[in-house]
Chain A
Amino acid sequence: MERRNFLKNILPLAAIPLISDRLFANVLHPASLRPETIEMLAGDIDRVLVLVRMDGGNDGLNTLIPLDQYAALIDPKVRKDLMSIENQILKLKNTTTLGMHPSMSAMRSMYDDDQLSIIQGVGNTANVFSHFHGIDQWETASDSTQTYYSSWIGRYIEKTYRLASTHYPNTCMPDPFVIEVGQNTLLGRGTGSLYSQTLNPEFNGNITELLDFYGDGDLSNNMKEELKFLRQQQSFTNDYGKKIIKAWNDGNNSSVVYPPSSISNNHPNVKPTTLAQQLKIVARLLKGGLKTRIFVVSIGNFDTHVSQVTSNWHSLLLKDLSEAIGAFQKDINQLGLADRVLGMTYSEFGRRVVQNGFGGTEHGWLHLCLCLAVWSKVVSSVIISR
């Protein structure tokens, strides 16, 4: 089977667990991770997943806009203040009922070029719209009845690499299992170990080496556990650091320009969005031959209780998101990496349909508001709705 066909076949399958609450929990459940799923995911060892975490809870209804319900949404009692002007909403091919937020032209182009799919109405049912419950559920694949403390990625690593995941780095997996740029998420966590290496968004190829002083012994059980962890981290940091530097030096980005953050230009007090920078690092490391298969990047400030529109806030965030992903996709296309890479965005929850009167929105149902963007060179431009 050609890789292109293979990926085309796998994508709808991979999407199934994300669409259904029950399957989501069952398939990625540590006890019942099905052998065929593992085989499927592990089949092609050079494939890469890039996860984009949108912190704060994205207003999905303002991201992928239901044009057929525009008249109802523009009602002052609903979300008049938040709605984009109708004729500015970006049209999408193959659908007349959905359009994209006006600032997302880069992602619209990807959609037009068959490089972006959207899955609407994804999520777990929640009793409370807590940021922390929400993000933990996404990253651990816990459902509302059971809590896991390991991430679905971590469990996947443990199932897939078995021995490798207890004695690493090794020849089977010489590079970090997971690289997180900018933010520590739960995604690097397995049932017993941490599998991720973090990188600063400012990373520019300089890595300070830690000295080789580890020590041994301990005075209590607690101390023993902490020292073991610290010494291990110290040694991973150095071992993996060398791999990362090598990939950085061997790799490069194409001539594609990664855009500066729009949000920091307009709101100087806000910590700038570094998503583009983070993705640029990912592309270069991949080009440099790093065998890491899971990269996690993030973009914050989606918790728009106030000033979602008045300060252009949400629009600028979506612009940053869309342009960063667009640039990354162009870059990896030019670098010849694109058919290995699949990307996906996620956010802890959506926001309520009805605006709150402060130019913003309160926390709301996932399946009402959130949409996932899944992008790759080889996806079809489909919108899967629930």
Chain B
Amino acid sequence: MGVNLLKFLNMKNVILFFSLFFIVNVGISQNSLDKYNGPFGEYQLKHLLRRTLFGATMDDMKHFEGKSMDAVVDELLNTDPSAPPPPWSFQFDYGDSESFKTGKTWVGTKGERSWTETIMQFNVSYWWHNLMMKQDRNIREKMVLFYENHIPSNNGKNNIGQGLFYYNRIKLLREHATGNYKDLMKKVTLEPSMMYYLDMNFSFVYKYYSYFVPPVKKKEPLFANENYARELQELYTVGKGRENNEVLFTEDDVKAAARVLSGWCVCNNNVDVHIKKHLCKDTVSYTSSFTPEMHDANDKQFSGLYGNHIIKAKPGPNGGLEEIDELFDMLLGREESARNLVRKLYRFFVYAYITEKTENEVIKPLAILLLQGGNGYKPYDVKPVLKALFTSTHFYDTEQIGCMIKNPYDLILGMSRMMGVKIYEDTDFVNTYNSVSLPAMRSHQQAQFIRSLCFQSGMVVSNVPDVAGYPAYYQGPDYHRLWINADYLRARKQSIHYYSEKHGTFIGFLTMSEFLTDFTINQDPIVIKFAEKLETPSNIEEFIDQNIQYFLVKDLNQQEKDKLSLILNSRNEAWLTTWNNYKANKNNYGTLYHKLREFYDALFSYAEFQLM
């Protein structure tokens, strides 16, 4: 039953490892971005996996064990761009019966465009959480989360087709997870979810009815909406510099970009008859549509910060796209843009704080790599940058290991994957009675549970609080420490294990079965199932050491271990007895279940558990 992996994690090996590591490190002086050429063992592998996956599970470690750093990084960066199976209806009696068949997907039906209720957001959200829970062994899910934070869109703002738009957005982010940033940004710009979110939708230079609807007396001019044009520059391209205090574009640049981006709207079947006639030839596909007459027909002059670049007016039906192409060439052509993206990547994958040294030795050279591409890569291909980062001396320096505060997804999904939550497959939708099959329903419940835990702790996907993302990734000077305020700390604790006055019992992750459904007698508690996977659970000292090694970023001192032993030996019963009683008869799980919950509650209370 036991997985042998944890054998390697016993303390003596680890201590030996640390000392080897220091000796190697002291002996060689290297530049930060030089390829790391020290030992690549458990310690380094685990660090790499924690940063690129949600937690490093026993199975993950076993899978990569013995492979070279290059091979592991290549595998992690090799993401599958193809679309996952779409979300499916789990609600009975909803919408038109043709489109919303229980257990069938609504994507591609007539109903995908009419279903507007909040329930559709949840449908997509649960689907997304399921994808994260059963992630492949590569960086895709983390990159999607990175982009969700970096170029967010809050689906609460769309009243029409919100589920569909968000589904399309996630599909797009997955497709470009380790692809080209410029391509992604161009697509995101014209993606309905973003167009609604930052008001590019119907950003016209004339009131359309004054232009199209007879009797046309006088065309009424408008100013193009500046919302997206501003955030595009401030957040997604040139940014604000390392200290967030540089002014890298002007108010006139915002206006000029808004004019470049004018003339677009999202077509849907809710729009009025004039819009259908003049602006939206296609009201079926729910995509963005360009109307040359509504686009600013003048040249767009940018400031000296952009080298006084002028985007010449480009008439005709393709003018809008051509100008957007030129806009992105101009925006992303600046080194500041490349640095801005690299800093965001660094803060997400390495550490929140960028020192002067890191800026010079890591950020700047990576920005040049991003800007120039090379070796078969195009400018703004993200993959070579990630490869250079994850194979750098800097990344494996002890300073960068175990210093990052987990975001709620790292915490909750990491805990759930590392403890071995069993995932219901949602591909088996319908049972013979034509209702949603139990496993499919349960897969939604699992996602719902995980989502609710993350939500409490201040982070939930498809509901990003701000156009700049989650404050922990943009708000200096504290950055990731903003995950740890009093309210969120209590929420983290509650997610794990706490006594609820309301329910009169303990609730939280540690009380659940391995399927994350409520614990009942014929289902196995996750804490017990997990303990059984360890190498020598019956030996109290080894059990404690193995858990510390697996879950925490560093060892605890003997005093702390003694406290943990007290819990395992509590209830006037030695740990060994408790364990043996359970092994002898699995119906004697009660005492073990209580002890283990208290044990993990304590273990996960250490500050060391909040780090990765």
Cβ-closest chain B residue relative to A356: B223
Q: Which residues of A contact B222 (CB under 8 A)?
A: 356-358
CB distance A215 to B556 under 8 Å? Answer: yes
Task: Please report the C-alpha to C-alpha distance between residue A127 and residue B223 in the assembled complex, in whole angstroms.
Answer: 20
Given contacts A198-B486, A231-B607, A306-B225, contact A223 B468 (CB under 8 A): no
CB distance B490 to A362 under 8 Å? Answer: no
Q: Which residues of B contact A206 (CB under 8 A)?
A: 501
Task: Please report the C-alpha to C-alpha distance between residue A189 and residue B476 in the assembled complex, in whole angstroms.
Answer: 11
Cβ-closest chain A residue relative to B490: A208
Please tell me if A373 contacts chain B, counting CB pairs below 8 Å: no
Q: Which residues of B contact A223 (CB under 8 A)?
A: 399, 401-403, 553-554, 611
Identify 16 residue pairs between A and B in the complex whose beta-carbon atoms are under 8 Å apart, listed by A's number.
A131-B467, A133-B240, A142-B245, A198-B488, A199-B486, A213-B602, A213-B605, A219-B402, A225-B403, A230-B405, A233-B484, A270-B156, A305-B226, A356-B223, A356-B225, A357-B207
Shortest CB–CB separation between residue A225 and chain B, in angstroms? 8
Q: Which residues of B contact A218 (CB under 8 A)?
A: 554
B402, B486, B498, B608: the one contacting A237 at CB < 8 Å is B486
CB distance B402 to A128 under 8 Å? Answer: no
CB distance A222 to B557 under 8 Å? Answer: no
Q: Which residues of B contact A220 (CB under 8 A)?
A: 398-399, 401-403
CB distance B399 to A211 under 8 Å? Answer: no
Q: Which residues of B contact A127 (CB under 8 A)?
A: 247, 250-251
List residues 396-435 of chain B with CB under 8 A from any CB of chain A. 398-405
Task: Please report the C-alpha to C-alpha distance between residue A149 and residue B244 in the assembled complex, in whole angstroms.
Answer: 10
Encode contact with B along A107-134: 1 for CB under 8 Å, 0 otherwise. 0000000000000000000011111110
Please tell me if A229 contacts chain B, counting CB pairs below 8 Å: yes
Q: Which residues of A contact B245 (CB under 8 A)?
A: 133, 142, 147
CB distance A222 to B351 under 8 Å? Answer: yes
CB distance A227 to B607 under 8 Å? Answer: yes
Task: Please report the C-alpha to C-alpha distance between residue A236 and residue B490 in the assembled complex, in whole angstroms.
Answer: 12
Task: Please report the C-alpha to C-alpha distance between residue A2 and residue B304 in the assembled complex, in whole angstroms.
Answer: 58
Shortest CB–CB separation between residue B492 and chain A, in angstroms? 9
Task: Please report the C-alpha to C-alpha distance between residue A184 and residue B251 in the assembled complex, in whole angstroms.
Answer: 28
4 nearest CB pairs, A to B: A357-B222, A230-B607, A222-B403, A198-B485
CB distance B560 to A215 under 8 Å? Answer: yes
14 more contacts with CB within 8 A, not counting A128-B251, A358-B203, are A129-B251, A132-B474, A199-B486, A210-B490, A213-B560, A217-B554, A217-B557, A218-B554, A222-B353, A226-B403, A229-B481, A268-B118, A305-B199, A306-B199
Q: Which residues of B contact A213 (CB under 8 A)?
A: 560, 563, 602-603, 605-606
List residues 123-171 of chain A with CB under 8 A from any CB of chain B. 127-133, 136, 142, 147, 149
Q: Which residues of A contact B203 (CB under 8 A)?
A: 358
CB distance B486 to A230 under 8 Å? Answer: no
CB distance B487 to A200 under 8 Å? Answer: yes
Task: Please report the C-alpha to C-alpha distance between residue A383 and residue B372 in the assembled complex, in whole angstroms.
Answer: 57
Task: Please report the C-alpha to C-alpha distance between residue A128 and residue B251 in the assembled complex, in whole angstroms.
Answer: 6
Q: Which residues of A contact B553 (CB under 8 A)?
A: 219, 223
Cβ-closest chain A residue relative to B564: A213
CB distance A211 to B605 under 8 Å? Answer: yes
Task: Please report the C-alpha to C-alpha distance between residue A90 and residue B282 in the assembled complex, in whole angstroms.
Answer: 47
Interface residues on A, range: 35 or more
Interface residues on B, range: 35 or more
Most chain A beta-carbon neighbours within 10 Å: one of B202, B251, B486, B608 = B486
Q: Which residues of A contact B555 (CB under 8 A)?
A: 217
CB distance B226 to A194 under 8 Å? Answer: no
Cβ-closest chain A residue relative to B603: A213
B204, B227, B607: the one contacting A215 at CB < 8 Å is B607
Q: Which residues of A contact B398 (CB under 8 A)?
A: 219-220
Q: Which residues of B contact A227 (CB under 8 A)?
A: 607-608, 611
Please tell me if A214 contacts chain B, counting CB pairs below 8 Å: yes
Binding site for B on A (CB under 8 A): 127-133, 136, 142, 147, 149, 180, 184, 186, 189, 194, 196-200, 206-208, 210-223, 225-227, 229-231, 233-234, 236-237, 240-241, 268-271, 303, 305-306, 354, 356-358, 360, 362-363
CB distance B234 to A128 under 8 Å? Answer: yes
Given contacts A222-B403, A230-B607, A234-B489, contact A132 B234 (CB under 8 A): yes
Task: Please report the C-alpha to C-alpha distance between residue A180 and residue B553 in the assembled complex, in whole angstroms.
Answer: 31
Task: Please report the C-alpha to C-alpha distance between residue A220 and residue B47 in the assembled complex, in whole angstroms.
Answer: 14
CB distance B485 to A362 under 8 Å? Answer: no
Shortest CB–CB separation between residue A283 and chain B, in angstroms? 19
Task: Please report the C-alpha to C-alpha distance between residue A269 and residue B493 in the assembled complex, in whole angstroms.
Answer: 29
Number of A-B contacts (CB under 8 A): 177
A131, A199, A207, A269: the one contacting B118 at CB < 8 Å is A269
Binding site for A on B (CB under 8 A): 18, 118, 156-157, 159, 199, 202-204, 207, 222-223, 225-227, 230, 234, 240, 243-245, 247, 249-251, 254, 351, 353, 398-405, 467-468, 471, 474-478, 481-482, 484-490, 493-494, 498, 501, 553-557, 560, 563, 601-603, 605-608, 610-611
Task: Please report the C-alpha to C-alpha distance between residue A330 and residue B240 in the assembled complex, in whole angstroms.
Answer: 43
Q: Which residues of B contact A240 (CB under 8 A)?
A: 486
CB distance B199 to A358 under 8 Å? Answer: yes
CB distance B226 to A363 under 8 Å? Answer: yes
Most chain B beta-carbon neighbours within 10 Å: one of A198, A216, A269 = A269
Shortest CB–CB separation between residue A305 and chain B, in angstroms? 4
CB distance A362 to B482 under 8 Å? Answer: no
CB distance B399 to A130 under 8 Å? Answer: no
Q: Which residues of B contact A268 (CB under 8 A)?
A: 118
Most chain B beta-carbon neighbours within 10 Å: one of A149, A200, A206, A230 = A230
Task: Please report the C-alpha to C-alpha distance between residue A127 and residue B377 in the assembled complex, in whole angstroms.
Answer: 37
Given contacts A220-B398, A223-B402, contact A208 B494 (CB under 8 A): yes
Given contacts A213-B602, A234-B607, contact A197 B226 (CB under 8 A): no
Shortest CB–CB separation between residue A280 and chain B, in angstroms? 17
A130, A196, A197: the one contacting B230 at CB < 8 Å is A130
Q: Which residues of B contact A271 (CB under 8 A)?
A: 156
Shortest CB–CB separation between residue A138 and chain B, in angstroms? 14
Shortest CB–CB separation between residue A94 and chain B, in angstroms? 36
Cβ-closest chain A residue relative to B480: A226
CB distance B475 to A214 under 8 Å? Answer: no
Q: Which residues of A contact B498 (CB under 8 A)?
A: 208
A149, A236, A270, A354: the one contacting B477 at CB < 8 Å is A149
CB distance B554 to A211 under 8 Å? Answer: no
Q: Which residues of A contact B157 (CB under 8 A)?
A: 269
Task: Please report the C-alpha to C-alpha distance between residue A131 and residue B247 in the assembled complex, in whole angstroms.
Answer: 13
Shortest CB–CB separation between residue A337 and chain B, in angstroms? 24
Shortest CB–CB separation between residue B411 and chain A, in angstroms? 12
CB distance A211 to B601 under 8 Å? Answer: yes
Q: Which residues of B contact A131 (CB under 8 A)?
A: 467-468
CB distance B225 to A147 under 8 Å? Answer: no
CB distance A147 to B554 under 8 Å? Answer: no
Shortest CB–CB separation between residue B550 and chain A, in angstroms? 16
Task: Please report the C-alpha to C-alpha distance between residue A293 and residue B18 in the assembled complex, in whole angstroms.
Answer: 48
Q: Which residues of B contact A189 (CB under 8 A)?
A: 477-478
CB distance B227 to A305 under 8 Å? Answer: yes
Task: Please report the C-alpha to C-alpha distance between residue A132 and residue B468 in the assembled complex, in whole angstroms.
Answer: 9
Cβ-closest chain B residue relative to A303: B227
Task: Please report the C-alpha to C-alpha distance between residue A155 and residue B467 in the assembled complex, in whole angstroms.
Answer: 29
Q: Which residues of B contact A360 (CB under 8 A)?
A: 199, 225
Task: Please report the C-alpha to C-alpha distance between residue A268 and residue B119 in the assembled complex, in whole angstroms.
Answer: 12
Task: Please report the C-alpha to C-alpha distance between residue A357 and residue B210 in the assembled complex, in whole angstroms.
Answer: 12
Task: Please report the C-alpha to C-alpha distance between residue A233 and residue B18 in the assembled complex, in whole angstroms.
Answer: 29
CB distance B611 to A207 under 8 Å? Answer: no
